[in-house]
Amino acid sequence: MQQLNEPDSEGRTTSDSSAQAWMRQWRNAGVALAAIRRDELIHLSDERALAASEALLSLATLFQLNPQREAWSGLVEQQALFHRRIVK
C-alpha cells in the first residue's frame, strides 16, 4: 500500500492536503448517507416495514435445513475455536 508522499508505480505522490480532502469527502458522504437513511426510516410506513420484514422472513423458507440442526447448531464448537489460544 502506498504511503503518503511516496511515489506510486507511475511516480505520482499523494500530498497531505489531497489525502485530507479525500478523507473529508468520505466523511461528508457518510454523514449525508446517514441522514438519508434516517429520513427514509422516519418516513417508512407501517405497511412497507411489514412488507420488508415479510420479504426477509420468507427467505428462510427457501432452503430446507438439515434435520440435525434442530438438535445441534455447531455454536459450541464455533465458540471453542474462537477462544482457542495460540501457543508460541
CB 2 within 8 A of CB 10: no
Q: How far apart are CA 69 and CA 60, in angstroms?
A: 14
Name the residue type at position 79: Q
pTM of the model: 0.47
Residue 68, pLDDT score: 83
Nine-digit cell string for 65:
435445513
- Residue 10 above 80 pLDDT? no
- Model confidence pLDDT, tens digit, residues 48-58: 999 999 999 99
